[in-house]
Amino acid sequence: MRAAPFARRGVTVVGGTRVRAPAELLDLLAEGGSGYHFFGKSVERVCLCL
């Protein structure tokens, strides 16, 4: 990721998610799962401090 365009606009933190187990996540979503079901198991939260 290139941080310069964000930093020029005053952004100091960028957040997102990282999928660790795609097959498991797709199964959970197909079953109607929500963030409570997959965060910490197949998906993790990521914060990047610029």
Which residues, other chains included, contact 20 with Cβ-Cβ below 8 Å and sequence gap of 6+?
Answer: 42, 43, 44
| pLDDT for the residue numbered 19 | 94
Burial class (CB in 10 A: 0-12, 13-18, 19+), 38: buried
% of the chain with per-residue pLDDT over 90:
58
* Structure letter (DSSP) for residue 20: S
| pLDDT for the residue numbered 1 | 65
The residue type at 7? A
Three-class secondary structure of residue 37 per DSSP: helix
